[in-house]
A and B are shown apart, each in its own frame.
Chain A
Amino acid sequence: MMENTAPLPGFVPTPLVDPFEIFVGPVFEHGAAGARTYAIRVDARHVNRRGVMHGGMFMTLADLTLGQAVWDATGKAPCATLNMQAQFLEPAVEGDIVQVVPELIRRTRALVFARGDFTVAGRIVFTAASVWKLLGQD
């Protein structure tokens, strides 16, 4: 399909394991655990008929990147998304680089609260907050 897998200068590809995430990737990252920046280049697979990034793709990117941050904080503990709240502020178009620095707000024994502001050229286009369950923890 019309994916653009060219490298992103200054970034390395994020190792992805879920087949669905591999399908929509590549996703790129730089920085150390706990303060990583993630980025995706919007390509022809990610857009709707108006040529802007699909809302579902934004939420997939949010789930992927906030999940990576949860994994960084928990030593890749098995976990699942319980809830995600998303706000769509502005469109992103094909060729845009969408970036996020995920924040972990709080961690309890069984839950992690995460959020992120997603930017294009410094402007916030999308925000998401999600609650994660660490599987096997009560």
Chain B
Amino acid sequence: MTFADMAMGQTLRAETGARGSSTVSLNCDFVGPGHLHDVVEARVHVSRRARTMVFLSAELLAGERLLMVASGLWKVVAPS
């Protein structure tokens, strides 16, 4: 969940140029276990960008194996 929150917030800032953002809500489905030494990759998608709110979704994968599906809502703190 921490990694999902980080990756989604980073993507938001990279995609929108916002300098800061706050997570408003986050929904996580734990689809499968991640194991010691797995390299976990987050693929993040911006679903919609409104003026102050951004909707994001993400998949966390270890190779081709799906570990988590997440979706959430962010408030842009300092739009640039």
Please state if A55 and B30 are interface contacts (CB–CB under 8 Å).
no
Interface centre among B2, B6, B22, B29 (most CB of A within 10 A): B2
Q: A60-B2, A63-B1, A84-B1 are in contact. Are A55 and B23 (CB under 8 A)?
A: yes
Please state if B6 and A88 are interface contacts (CB–CB under 8 Å).
no
Q: A50-B20, A54-B2, A54-B5 are in contact. Are A59 and B26 (CB under 8 A)?
A: yes
A88 to B9, CA, bound (A): 14
Number of residues on chain A facing chain B (CB within 8 A) = 17
Question: Is B25 among interface residues, defined by CB-CB distance under 8 A?
Answer: yes
Please state if A88 and B24 are interface contacts (CB–CB under 8 Å).
yes
Question: Is A17 among interface residues, defined by CB-CB distance under 8 A?
Answer: no
Question: Is A74 among interface residues, defined by CB-CB distance under 8 A?
Answer: no
Interface centre among A57, A60, A86 (most CB of B within 10 A): A86
Smallest CB-CB separation from A63: which chain B residue?
B1
A63 to B2, CA, bound (A): 12
Please state if A88 and B25 are interface contacts (CB–CB under 8 Å).
yes
Interface centre among B1, B4, B22, B33 (most CB of A within 10 A): B1
Tell which of A54, A81, A85 touches B27, judged by Cβ atoms closer than 8 Å. A85
Find chain A residues with CB under 8 A from B22 CB. Answer: 88
Listed A/B pairs (24) with beta-carbon separation below 8 Å: A54-B2, A55-B2, A55-B9, A55-B23, A56-B1, A56-B5, A57-B2, A59-B26, A63-B1, A80-B33, A81-B30, A82-B29, A83-B30, A84-B1, A84-B27, A84-B28, A84-B30, A85-B26, A85-B27, A85-B28, A86-B27, A86-B28, A87-B24, A87-B25
Q: Which residues in A have some Cβ–Cβ distance to B below 8 Å?
A: 50, 54-57, 59-60, 63, 80-88
Q: Which residues in B have some Cβ–Cβ distance to A below 8 Å?
A: 1-6, 9, 20, 22-30, 33
